[in-house]
Structure 1
Amino acid sequence: MSSENVGVQALIKKDAPKAVYMHCNGHILNLVIARSCALPVVRNMIDKMKSTIIFFTYSPKRENLLVEVVTKDAHSTGQRKPLTDVCRTRWAERHGAYNHFFSAFIFIVKALEVIALGLHTNDYSQDVTTGWQGKDKAEANSLLSGLQNFGFILTIYQLLSHLTGITVKLQRTSVDIVEAFGMVDEVKNIYKELRETIEDDFNQIYEQAIRMAAQVNVQPTSQPRAAGRQTHRENVPAETVKDYYRRNMAIPFLDHVILEFEFRFSPLSITASRLLGLIPSIQCNSDVTVDVSEAVQLYQNDLPSPELIDQELKRWKLRWRNKSSEERPTSCAAAIKECDVLIYPNVFKLLKIACTLPVTSYECERSNSTLRRLNTFMRSSMGEDRLSSLALIHTHYDMAVNLDEAVNIFSKLFPRRLELTSVLIP
């Protein structure tokens, strides 16, 4: 599909050179993070964290132990939640799990010490500190040795926090999506600046990791050994421990993120997506500034009268400026219905092009998320027609339905001798 040489994209561009291949931008952000997290040092950290989460969440007794440790040792128990699993499909949503895991890191290590080494038995109830089998002790000891490692504690999950805002906005309405496209360049510049000032920024992360490691009796005493032909792990030589982790962890991660941003978010797709700025709810929003000049220039040869586009855009904006926010269209489909092709021929043409640009696929995928509400176990034998009808009713639940008219239509489609009366009037 996406290959520029032999894919469907290439076949379409032979006949329509201006056609823009639009991969769902929410999925692109997922791919940026997934490819960056494929680094060996980051991948190992994620595997250890997932194993620890599974160890506690798959056993009520272990989870009760962790809850008791958090409840007793945390300063504010109201802000502590049970350990949550890492999202398996949405990489961009994992930052919340990372943040929560490392906020409870000290309590997790303490719970593992209770199981593996029999420590802190007098601090908690006997029900959760005794009766552990040899298999539990062996697995807890293995996890404990992996977590009490300075390379694991010195993670780069903090650097992913710059992506959380874009992730949320790319899943919302058109106004948020337009703002998110502006944030793409902003976040890209942030990572480039972090790469240039990695010396100072990494010092803060390193000092924070030292403080966290001291609370679990871990010291950065030595760096991993570097081998001449090693290719499956970080292997850049360094003079100090700090330089080692900066060169083998922080710098490769930032380089991967910047490279993936440049490769995944193509300038052509971002330029074409600026056509969303023609939507009146976005155009009249003072908090969102969208420059559609680049998109107009891209499709200049397709416009009926491109020399009048500037004046036409001013008239289009003045038409909706005095309207209330409820009266302004919020999508390309709604805007093109309100656009008179005789008065605004150029705007109509641009809106027609904008309607063909699938910026994200979150809206259509939400129907898959709600399918379980319709196709329940009690309705497992219904056919496709009934399922499609229920899906349409669920999608357009805000539309008022005239039951009398529905009964009349049903009686004409399926004539019977049974007299059909109104279900509302007795």
Structure 2
Amino acid sequence: MMFETVAVIGLGYIGLPTAAVLASRKVRVIGVDVNQDTVATINRGEIHIVEPDLDMLVHASVTEGYLHATTEMQPAKAFLIAVPTPFKDGHKPDLSFIEQACRALAPVLEKGNLVVLESTSPVGTTEKVAQWLAELRSDLSFPQQAGEHSDIRLAHCPERVLPGRVLHELVHNDRVIGGMTEKCSKVAAQLYQLFVQAECVLTDVRSAEMCKLAENSFRDINIAFANELATICEQLSIDPWALIALANRHPRVNILQPGPGVGGHCIAIDPWFIVDAAPEQARLIRQAREINDRRPDQVVETIKQIVTQWSVEHSGRPATVAFLGLSYKANIDDLRASPALAIVNRMAAESAIRVIAVEPYLDTAPAALSSAVRFSSLGEAVGVADIVVLLVAHDAFKSLETLKQERHLVLDICGALK
């Protein structure tokens, strides 16, 4: 099948890099997003997110005419849906963005089109996409109606990339592709083979959906062990970083590094999709999620104790506390579900301290940051702080010789200085 034109719906941390990589293969890509500012930025050949080398790729793709962004859906041979899949109250999956994407693309669907859901989704979501589209386009046949002979092909191919290495991993990571029929899987694989140099592994649609959830739940459980171990070590006056380094000398042990919690749009959310689908069976997965969700509370309490002790030792004077890092992980600008940001905002509500925040990957204070927080450069913050709290292990923080001065009280939550 020829894919002269591909529409990528959702131009965020996954959609835009995918669109740019496809465009670099001389495929005409229509990028669709509801945010007019995002569309205008891309059409200037610029980007609205931080990802190494993405700016050059987008600029080249736009300049050469292979990538164009718009707020209006247009006809294409294939449609990739890469919109958010958050959860609602009670950790219930919110599929409204996917449904909106289906309503937008349904009017331009044509016989022979391929629709691929890339958004990480609960098991059964791709089948819901097929149902929604069938209800909107009764003139076309879909896999649940016509099987291998359907007019429209549907598949799920979850992204599995690491922020900061997205362009490399889009090309070099294996892709799991689950079609609603075998033909759907094979057609979807033809699309991904335009840019994926690793293996495209074909499976059924539900296995593909569950695979991504299982991957992130596995990681969440291992992070929960590290965070729980750190909490225990703090209670027993043991350096958790030194302990983990010792334990990892065992040839079959590889404990992860603890931190202030788990954020981002994948690990902090995806396990709840499994818990929602099988609440009685997903006991370990739920427990890990709860441990990681509690971790920011534990960090806040630790910081409060240190601040109180410092104030007592300095005749009741309010401490100036510099928090280093706001993103959910190192060396990116992504604040989605960031435990570091949540910790800073909670500490800003404390009347006994002055709070300064540093995020080297942002030029200005993010809208989600409390107005009580002073957004500052690294040098300025460290220069005036009484207490420095490292929340994110950005490379920029790892060689701060000034933190070793005796006047600084340093709390390294993320192991940046280890």
Scaled to the shorter chain, the TM-score interval is: under 0.3
Higher Rg? 1
Give the TM-score, by structure 2 length.
0.24
Q: Which has the higher contact order (CA 8 A, sep 6+)?
A: 1
Structure 1 or 2: more helix by fraction: 1
